[in-house]
Structure 1
Amino acid sequence: MSCDHRRHLRKVSGTTNASYLILRMRTYPGAYKIQRELHKYGEQLYKVQIFKRVQIFVSVLYSILFRILLIYSDIQTFRLLVVCLFFRQNLTVCPIIEGEEQLRLLYLHHNSITRIQNLSSLQHLIFLDLYDNNIEEISGLSSLRSLRVLMLGKNRIQKISNLENLKNLDVLDLHGNQIAKIENVSHLRELRVLNLARNQINQVENINGLDSLKELNLRDNKITFLRDVDTLPSLQLLYLSFNNISRINDILCLADSTSLSDVTLDGNPIAQESWYRQTILGHMLQLRQLDMKRITEEERRTASVLARKEDERKRESHKQALLKEKRRIAISNAARQWDIQQNRVTPATSDQENEDCISSYQKPCQLNGTTAFELTEEQRSLDTVLSSAVQGLSIIDSHLVEVEGDVLCLYGSGALESLDRSWSVQTSGSVSTISFTFINFDEIVQVLPKLRIKFPNISHLKFKETNLITLHQFDVLAQLRRLDQLTVDPQGNPVVNFTLWKYYVLFRLNSFNIQKINDSEVTQNDIVLSEKLFGILAYIASSELPQYRLHALLGEFRFLKILTSIFDKSAI
C-alpha cells in the first residue's frame, strides 16, 4: 500500500487556520496486507510527527480504517481510498472540500458544527463521522446515496428524518441525542446496526421493514414497552439496559423473535424481581446470553419447566375468564327476558325475537366449579376461543344453572328444565340452598315436588325477581320436607311490602321451625306474635271449611294442631 500525505492550510468558514489531513491509499486484495500497510503507515506518521494533534489519533485511525475495510469486502474494488480528517478544529460549519470528489471517509467529529451542509459533491462518500457536534436536525444528506456509515452520536437531534435517499446505509449511530420516537427508518432495508442509546425514547414501535438489522442498541432511554421487535427477521443483539421496563407483558414480543440471541435488561425495574431471569428464559428459549451472561443448559431446562407451568396457569385463567363472561351474558339475557315479560322494557325487534326463539330450544347452560366448560385445544389461540365463544353465548343462552358449594342457583325459567336431568348423588346431597332468580313463582311451584326428591337436604330457599305478590303464595312451601331459612328479596317481590308478611310465613310454616327470615334470627316473641295475629283467623277458617280443604291449606301438622284446639274448646 503506497501513501502520500499533504497538509493543507485553508481558510474555512467559521474558523481560521483550520487544518485537515488527506490520506491517499491504494488498496490491495487481502485483509492481512491492508492491516500490515496501515500499521506501517501509522508508525511512520507517528515518527515524523506530521501533526502533533494527530499523534494520539493514529491508533484510533488505524483501528477504524481496518474495521471499515474488513466490513466492506467491496472496498477492494476501489483503486483509491481517500480519507479526510477534521477533528477538534472548532468548526461551526462543514468545510467546503474542493477537488476531492473521490473522498470515501470524512471525519468531522469533536467540532461545533450546527448544520450538515456543503457535502453534496461527495457522492462517493461511504463513511461520515459527525460525532460530538451541535447538530439539531438531520439534513443535507440527500445526495450521499453511497453512504454506508453515518455517525451522528452526541449531538442535539430531536427527530429522525431526511434519510429517504440513504437506502444503502449499513450503520446508523444516533446515540446521545434528544430523540423521543423511532420513526422514518422503515425504508432502510440494508441497515445492520442502529444505535439509539442515551436518548428520550419511551416506547419502541414503527420499526417494521428493517429486514437486515442485526444489532439494536436502546440503552439508557425511558422505554416502558416494546412492539414490532418480533418483525425484525435478522435481529440478534438487543440492548435494553437502564430503561423503565417493569412488566414481562411489556416485552413479550421478544418471545416471538426466532433470530434474537442476546438481550440485556439489567438496570430495569423488572431485573430487580426474584423471578426475573427464569421468567425471561422461560419466554425466550432462543436466547444464548442474557445481560451478557451465557445461559447454561441447566437454566434452560429449569426455565422450560417453569414456562410449561405458566402456560397451564394462563390456560386456566383464560378458562375462568370464559366462564365468568359466559355467566354474565346468560344472566343478562335472562334478566332481559324477565323485564320483557314484566312489561318493563320495549319488546325486542324481529332479529331479537329470532334470537329468543333460538334460545328457547337450547339446553340449560350448566356451570359448576370444575367441569363447567371445555376450552378447545385446536390451532386457534385462547383469546380467539374466548371471543368466539362469548359471541355465541350472547345469542343463545338466556338461562343459567350454577352450583357454587352447597348453593344451587337458577336464573331464568329455562333453568327449571335442568331439574329433569340426572344429578350425581354427591351433588344432590351437598345442595342445601336453592336460589331462584328471574323465574315466576307460579312456575317454581310446579317443580317443588321434584326439588323435594332431587335435593333431600334443602333447608334454605331464596327468591329474587319471582313475582311473589300475595301471602297465600307461601302456602305451597308447606309441601317441602324442611325449611330452616327463607330469603325473599324486595326486588321483584311486592309481597315484602306487607308489614306482616314475615309473621304470616312463621304462622303458616310453623311446622318447619324456621330459624331465619331474610338473614334475621326468628325469636320466640316473633312466633308468639304470629300466633296472635293469624291464630284466630285459622280457627275461624277451620270452623267453616271441610276437613279435606283445611288439610290441603294448612298441612298435616297445622291441621292436627287446629283440630285439637277445636276439640279442646268443645269439651270445655
Structure 2
Amino acid sequence: MVQAHCSSEHAAAAPAGYKESHEERRMASVVAKKEEEKRRESHKQSLLKEKKRLTINNIARQWDLQHRVTNIAANQDRKNSDSPSLDPCQMDGSTTSAFPEETGSLDSVLTNALQALSVTDTHLVDVDGDTLSLYGSGALESLDRNWSIQTAGMVTTVSFTFIEFDEIVQVLPKLKMKFPNSLHLKFKETNLAMLQQFNALAQLHRVDQLTIDPQGNPVVNFTLWKYYVLFRLSHFNMQKINGTEVTQNDMIMAERLFGILAHVASSELPHYRVISILGDARKKQFRYLQETKGKKHGIVNEENNDSKRFVGENTNRAMLNYTTRDFYNEKLEETKEKKKFCKIYIEDLVKEATEISMKKEALQKLWPQMFIELVRDAVLETRNKNSYMKLCLQQIADQK
C-alpha cells in the first residue's frame, strides 16, 4: 500500500520537472540568440570602424601624395626657369633616378602610387551625433544630397579634413542652406595658409566656434591670426577659437590691430567697385538715410550715432574678401584676353592714324602744284566763252 502511494507521487512529479526543464531550455535559447545578435552587431560595428579607419588612412596617404607631387612639380618648374641646362641626373642621354634603389623619376613613382590609391575609397562622410565629418574633396558632394530634416537640424558641428580650403569655399553657400544650425567649424589638413582666406567665412549665417588644427594649416603659425578672425568675423560674436573663450579684451585688441586695414582697403577702392561689392550694405545705408530724412540733426546724431558707426564698420570689413585660386586664374585669363584684344585694337588704330598722317603729309607737298594746274586748266577752258558754253551743253546732252 505504501509502495503504491510513492509510485503515484513520483508519477505526478515527473511532468512538473519536465515543464521546468523545458522552460529553462527555452530561456537559455532566447539568451543565446540575444548574445549571438550582440556578437553579430559588435562584429558589424568593428568592421565598420575598421573600414572607416582604413578609408581615412587611404585619404590621408592620397592627400600626402598629392602635395608631394605638387611640390615636386613646382620645384621642377622653378629649376627649369632658373637654369635651362640639362638635369645633372641625365648622363649619356639616359635618364636615371636620383635614388639608386628606384627606377624612373620620383614624379612618375608618386603618380603611379596616387593612381593605385584612387581605386579604393577616396572620401568619407560620417555623421556622429551632432557632428558631420567630411574627409576628402569628394565628400563635399554629399552637400547636394536631400538630407532629412531631423539630421540637418541636429548637426551643429561640421568638420573638414584632407580638403583644400578653396574647394570648401565653393560649397559654403550650400552648407548654410543644408545645415542652418551649424555653429562650430573645424578645419584639419585644409591648407589654410593666408589670413585673407578667413574672409570667405563671412558669407555664413553664424559661427560661434572655430577650430583650426595646426596640422596642415600653416596659418596658425601667424601670431595674430586669432585677432584677425575676431576682427573680420566680428558680426558673428564668436564665443570660442580653438577651445579658448573669446573675451572683450580680445575684441578690443582685434579692432586696434586691424581697424586701419579695413579703412585703407575701403578708401583705396573706386566708388563703383565699392557699390558692386557692397550692394546690400549700400541699400541699408540708403534706407537708413531715407528714414532719418526730415528729423532734426541733433536728434539723429544722438539716437543713431552708434547705428551709423556699426554700418560703416560692416562696410569697411566687407572690403576684405577672398578670391580662390581657380577663380583668380579664371579672372586672370579673362584679363589677359581683354588686354590682348585692347592691344590689337590700339595697334590697328595707331596704324590707321599713321597712314592718315602720311597721306596728309603727301597731300601738303603735292597740293601747291595741284592747285596751280587746276587754276591753269580752268583759265584755258574758259578763255573762249562761246566754245566753253557749247562744250558744257554738249556734256549735259550726253548725260541725258
Which band: TM-score by shorter chain? 0.5 to 0.7
Which residue identity does 1:331 align to in structure 2? I
Indicate yes or no: 2:46 matched with 1:324.
Answer: no
Aligned-partner SS, 1:477: helix
Task: Tell me the alpha carbon deviations over residues 261-318 of structure 1, each in whole angstroms, 9 at most, x when there is no partner.
Answer: xxxxxxxxxxxxxxxxxxxxxxxxxxxxxxxxxx932322121111100110001001
Q: Which amino acid in the other structure matches residue 316 of structure 1?
A: E
**1:356 counterpart (100, 103, 117):** 117
**CA distance in 1 between partners of 2:67 and 2:24 (Å):** 64
| Match of residue 37 from structure 2 | 312
Aligned residues of 1:486 and 1:518 also touching (Cα < 8 A) = yes
Matched to 1:513, the amino acid is N
- Decide whether aligned partners of structure 1 residues 469 and 310 sit closer, same or farther in structure 2, where only a CA change above 3 A counts: same
How far the C-alpha of 1:330 sits from its partner, in A, is 0.7
Deviation at 1:341, TM superposition (A): 1.6
Which residue of structure 2 lines up, in the alignment, with residue 489 of structure 1? 213
Instruction: Trace 1:288-303 onto structure 2 (pairs within 5 A).
Output: 296-303=21-28
**1:432 maps to 2:193:** no
What one-letter code is carried by the residue in structure 2 that aligns with 1:538?
A
The whole-number CA distance in structure 1 between the counterparts of 2:41 and 2:279 is 50
Q: Structure 2 vs 1, CA of residues 467 and 561 (structure 1 numbering), >3 Å: closer, same or farther?
A: farther
In structure 1, what is the equivalent of residue 222 of structure 2?
498
CA shift in 2, pair 1:540/1:473, >3 Å: same
Q: CA deviation at 1:354?
A: 4.4
Structure with the bigger percentage of strand: 1
User: 2:196 is aligned with what amino acid?
Assistant: H
Compute the displacement of 1:547 (Å): 5.0
Matching of residue 456 in structure 1 with residue 180 in structure 2 = yes
RMSD over aligned CA atoms reads 2.9
Code of the residue aligned with 1:320 in structure 2: it is Q
- Post-superposition CA distance 1:76-115 (Å, at most 9, x none): xxxxxxxxxxxxxxxxxxxxxxxxxxxxxxxxxxxxxxxx
Q: 1:564 to 1:441 in 2, by over 3 A?
A: closer
Q: 1:520 to 1:538 in 2, by over 3 A?
A: same
Unmatched 5+ residue regions in structure 2? 1-19, 72-105, 286-307, 316-400
Separation of aligned partners in 1, 2:157 and 2:176? 12
Q: Whole-Å Cα distance in 2 between the matches of residues 521 and 453 of structure 1?
A: 27
Instruction: Return the structure number with greater relative CO, CA threshold 8 A, min gap 6.
Output: 2
**Residue 148 of structure 1 aligns with which residue?**
none
Aligned AA for 1:512? Answer: F
Matches within 5 A, 1:534-553: 534-547=258-271, 549-550=273-274
Deviation at 1:355, TM superposition (A): 3.4
As a proportion of its length, which structure holds more helix? 2
Q: Distance in 1 between matches of 2:178 and 2:274?
A: 28
1:42-73 alpha-carbon deviations (Å, 9 max, x no partner): xxxxxxxxxxxxxxxxxxxxxxxxxxxxxxxx
SS at match of 1:398: coil
Aligned 1:142-291 pairs, distance under 5 A: none
For 2:145 and 2:38, how far apart are their aligned partners in 1?
33
Residues 566 and 448 (structure 1), Cα distance of their counterparts in 2 relative to 1, 3 Å cut? closer
In structure 2, the residue corresponding to 1:466 is in which secondary structure?
A: coil
* Cα 1:412–1:421 shift into 2, 3 Å: same
Equivalent residue for 1:342, pick from 67, 71, 79: 67
The superposition leaves residues 13-61 of structure 1 with CA deviations (integer Å, 9 ceiling, x where unpaired) of xxxxxxxxxxxxxxxxxxxxxxxxxxxxxxxxxxxxxxxxxxxxxxxxx
Give the structure 2 partner of residue 417 of structure 1: 141
> What is the identity, as a one-letter code, of the residue corresponding to 2:52?
R
Q: Is the 8 A contact 1:511 1:557 kept in 2?
A: no
Aligned partner of 2:126 in structure 1 is 402
Aligned length: 236
Counterpart Cα distance in 1 of 2:220 and 2:155: 26
Deviation of 1:418 after TM superposition, in Å, equals 1.1
Q: Name the residue aligned to 1:144.
A: none
User: Matches of 1:431 and 1:476 in 2, distance apart?
Assistant: 21
Q: Tell me, which stretches of 5 or more residues in structure 1 are unaligned? A: 1-294, 359-395, 568-572
Q: Using a 3 Å threshold, how does the CA distance of structure 1 residues 350 and 484 change in structure 2: closer, same or farther?
A: closer
How much does 1:466 deviate?
Answer: 0.3
Question: Aligned equivalents of 1:304 and 1:489: distance in 2?
Answer: 51
Tell me, yes or no, if the aligned pair for 1:542 and 1:562 is still in contact at 8 Å.
no
SS in 2 for 1:333: helix
Deviations 1:109-145 (A, max 9, x none): xxxxxxxxxxxxxxxxxxxxxxxxxxxxxxxxxxxxx
Distance in 2 between residues matched to 1:420 and 1:412, nearest whole Å: 16
Instruction: Give the Cα–Cα distance (whole angstroms) in 2 for the partners of residues 501 and 349 of structure 1.
Output: 34
**Aligned CA distance change for structure 1 residues 303 and 566 (closer, same or farther; 3 Å):** closer
User: What is the aligned partner in structure 2 of residue 391 from structure 1?
Assistant: none
Deviations 1:312-359 (A, max 9, x none): 00010011001101110110011011101221896666774443343x
1:426 maps to amino acid: Q
Q: How do 1:108-123 residues align onto structure 2 when only pairs under 5 Å count?
A: none
Distance in 1, matches of 2:313 and 2:222, equals: 29
Q: Secondary structure at the match of 1:296?
A: helix
Q: Is the 8 A contact 1:485 1:514 kept in 2?
A: yes
For 1:566 and 1:414, how far apart are their aligned partners in 2?
A: 35
Flag the 1:335–1:515 CA change in 2: closer, same or farther, 3 A.
same
| Percent of residue pairs bearing the same amino acid type | 64
